[in-house]
Structure 1
Amino acid sequence: MNAITRKERNIAGLPVAVIWGYVATLIFMAGDGLEHAWLSPYLIEKGLTVQQSATLFAVYGAVLAIASYFSGVLTEMWGPRKVMIIGLVTWLIGQVLFIEYGLKLNSYAIMLPTYGIRGLGYPLFCYSFLVWVTYRSPDRILATAVGLFWAAWSGGLYVVGSYFPAYMLPKIGYIGLLWSAVAWVLIGGIIGLIVVKDDIRKEQKGNAKEKLKSLLSGFTICIEQPKVAIGGIVRIINSTGIGSLPIFFPMYLSSKYGFTTEQFLQMWGTMWFANIVFNLIIPYISDRWLGWRKTIMWIGSFGMGVMLLVMLYTPQVFGSSFLALNIVGIIMGIVLCGFVPLSALVASLAPEKKGSAMAIVSFGAGMSYFIAPAIVGAFIGSIGVHGVMWIFAGLYFLGAFLMKFMKLPNEGKQNESGHLSEKQAG
């Protein structure tokens, strides 16, 4: 299932359908990300407290984490297309209800459940596609294939999702921007459903016991393969620090140094543009020379811990220099790419249960969107911005330490082509 058939058209070793799936992911995530970098400041201007805004994102993150876990398991049970359809429909329902009955009525009680419903959408749509990619890509380019997915994912969520609102907010306003997201998601969703086939579904016995076993397989694999559990923890850390910044950092930059929301959006988009470019470079370096584990440990985990602190102290040194902030953002976007091989590493630890292993990775990605705002809400009032940033930097350093225990069998030995051998990957 992991090999490409000779009759299938491919580009650089990947099926054309997978390439189009990346396009669908980028467009879908562009729609999903149009509000991420400005929603918290907007809601606070409308009367919410920082803690209430953080709680809203925590609820969204909790639902997202659940959907992220089930995306991998359900993909193996039902096939990717059915799971992607569920993701598309739930996103659309949540978005419409959130706009019409949450934001327009300025009702926090309605915002919580409706924004939560929307949190089911992109994990079910995108992460089920990611599982499909891990099955359809050869081991020799698996990290590169996953890197392309994350390039498309971050390109939509953060690059288009930052530059498009920065340009369109003065023209169509906040609510108009949220409605435009519906068009983005519909287009991406339709493309994805056209190109992705249900060709990885495994036969499932009809009794309830077997179905329950399948649903729990993502957690039982953590007992069978403890390194998969460690990979899930590192995946949580991966997005926790970076995912927390839009919740409180734009207000901090505005109040202390005079940066506008549009400037933060432009910096945010530039950072993720650099991330996309190096998402195509660092996984290649990882596959060929450095190795997956060391890339995650030093470039991803340690690098992000350092750069988060550099981001915090740069305005203190350079004041309101937009150029300095952008340079730091670019470097941060580059080192964040160091986490890309994590999906390939974890999947390779369980070659016969990739869907279950990927369920843990996806669950970790989702949990980060719960943990990040939860930490902000719990500590921002007592230890302030500096204290919270140091907490997140410490988590990244913890991730670097945990990667010491993620060695593959015979790590360090490479075959003649320079990539990890199948024996290593197993």
Structure 2
Amino acid sequence: MTAVGVESNFLTPHLVAGLNTSEATVSWVITGYSLTVLVASYLSGALADLFGPKRVMLAGAAVFIVFQFAFIFAISTGNLHLVGLTYFIRGFGFPLFAFAFLVWINHLARPSKLGTAIGWFYVMFTGGLPTLGSLVAFGVIPAFGGGFVGETAALYVSIALAAVGTVLAWFGCRDQTGMRRLAEPAMSNSEILMSGLQLLVSNSKVRDGFLVRMINTAPQFGMFIILPAVISDELGWGQSRWLMMTVIVYAGNILFNAVFGAIGDKHGWVSTVRYFGILTSSIALLAWWYVPHWVEPGSTSGYVLAVIAGTAYGIFLAGFVPMGAIVAANAPGQEGGAMAMYTTAAGGATFLGSLVVAVVLNVTGWFNLGSYAQNTAVVWAFVALYAVAFILVGRLRTRQDDPEYRKELKRKDAALVDAA
């Protein structure tokens, strides 16, 4: 995920410069990429059930590495259509790798610790995208001369990181379930591939959970599009400080992913998501947008306050961690299909975030609004989506949200430990 995160906070201005086009046009290129991320996120769950998570992870890594080379070459040609095509195909890469691994975790974790296990997955996920990825970019870009050339070098470094991560996953994850089919033997290939979609249609709780998870990190990916130019150029803090801001913001997220997973296991998954994940994230998102504009542009004190506001968003974003457990628990006996839809929604957040930016920027552009007004409209669109998620998650209560049932799970865990 560090390899994917390298580009996360400079790609939009990089493509604007490399293709000599507008930010609105680039937002459509990123939207196309995020559409394939959505599709691959669904396939990661279905294919992991069919062929085994480890094989799917290897396929995803291969797609990323090959088409990252192709994407870099396409940028050098200045051909918008070739850039769009190669980036579109590359979008299949990271979801197959990351979310097949999440399916593997969901298959192995004990029910009483599922929220915690998923929390640790997101510690590593966010640790790479965007946190360590931004830190790598922070070091590599100036080391290779800065600007467009330094950014291109960072894209090449991401390929090396992906290769290292692939080797570590292949030789480090040795549980044999990763190499075999997870689905029931009686299920046909077509049933496995369609199970998630059928569940989405037939189970309203899975559908609501799908929407909540999709909304969850949509603002994160949307802010990756609009904030780099705002923080670096318009407010005068420069690219290096923007990259460091991203590292700090999502370091906060890393520290609290496991914490909120454990809080959910102890105090209830739905309440954790509703009040920590949704309500506080929406408030913190507004703070991350407005605080940098309220302080003195380019000042150190203003930068510190902006980082604090952003870090609050990163921390409370971790409140969504129990959503994976919630979606699976609302489809008893069909956990494989439920996780396929959860991973689809996780990838779909990339699509939704970039789509909101593309639509809002283009619509507000028709009214000749200034950059600040356009970007503010984007932020409020995300807050409106959080309001929808707040309503939807209230419908998703499971047995785990009953304190007595949580005590029963703890007693069963204690009995298993004693028996061992």
- One fold, TM greater than 0.5? yes
Structure 2 counterpart of 1:78, one-letter code:
F
Q: Which residue of 2 aligns with 1:161?
A: 133
1:82 aligns with 2:52: no
- Structure 2: which 5+ residue stretches go unaligned? 145-149, 365-373, 413-420
Distance in 1, Cα, partners of 2:244 & 2:182? 44
Q: Which residue of 2 aligns with 1:24?
A: none
Q: Give the total of aligned pairs.
A: 390
Q: Which residue of 2 aligns with 1:392?
A: 382
Structure 1 counterpart of 2:242, one-letter code:
F
Change over 3 Å in CA distance of 1:380–1:203 after alignment to 2: closer
Q: Which residue of 2 aligns with 1:408?
A: 398
Shift of 1:415: 4.4
Distance in 1, Cα, partners of 2:327 & 2:410? 14
Runs of 4+ in structure 1 deviating by more than 6 angstroms, as ranges, are 203-206
Distance in 2, Cα, partners of 1:260 & 1:341? 36
- Structure 1: which 5+ residue stretches go unaligned? 1-28
Change over 3 Å in CA distance of 1:145–1:168 after alignment to 2: same
1:120 aligns with 2:97: no
Mean CA deviation greater in 235-244 or 171-180: 171-180
Mean CA deviation greater in 221-230 or 176-185: 221-230
Q: Which residue of 2 aligns with 1:378?
A: 359
Q: Which residue of 2 aligns with 1:272?
A: 250
Matches within 5 A, 1:40-59: 40-46=12-18, 47-59=20-32
Q: Which residue of 2 aligns with 1:12?
A: none
Whether contact under 8 Å (2:205, 2:396) holds in the other structure is yes
Q: Which residue of 2 aligns with 1:367?
A: 348
Q: Which residue of 1 aligns with 2:285?
A: 308
1:99 aligns with 2:89: no
User: Can you list the C-alpha shifts for 1:138-178, whole angstroms capped at 9, x where unaligned?
Assistant: 11111001000000010011111111111221112112111
Structure 1 counterpart of 2:381, one-letter code:
I
Whether contact under 8 Å (1:81, 1:196) holds in the other structure is no
- 2:21 match: secondary structure: coil
Shift of 1:205: 6.8
Matches within 5 A, 1:179-218: 179-194=156-171, 195-199=173-177, 201-202=181-182, 210-218=188-196
Shift of 1:354: 2.1
Shift of 1:418: 7.8
**RMSD in angstroms over aligned alpha carbons?**
2.0
Distance in 2, Cα, partners of 1:311 & 1:341? 24
1:295 aligns with 2:272: yes
- 2:401 match: secondary structure: coil
Q: Which residue of 2 aligns with 1:7?
A: none
Shift of 1:420: 7.7
Shift of 1:213: 1.7
Structure 2 counterpart of 1:394, one-letter code:
A
Distance in 2, Cα, partners of 1:186 & 1:355? 29
Shift of 1:355: 2.1
Distance in 2, Cα, partners of 1:54 & 1:332? 23
Q: Which residue of 2 aligns with 1:318?
A: 295
Mean CA deviation greater in 40-49 or 403-412: 403-412
Shift of 1:419: 5.8
Aligned identity (percent) is 28
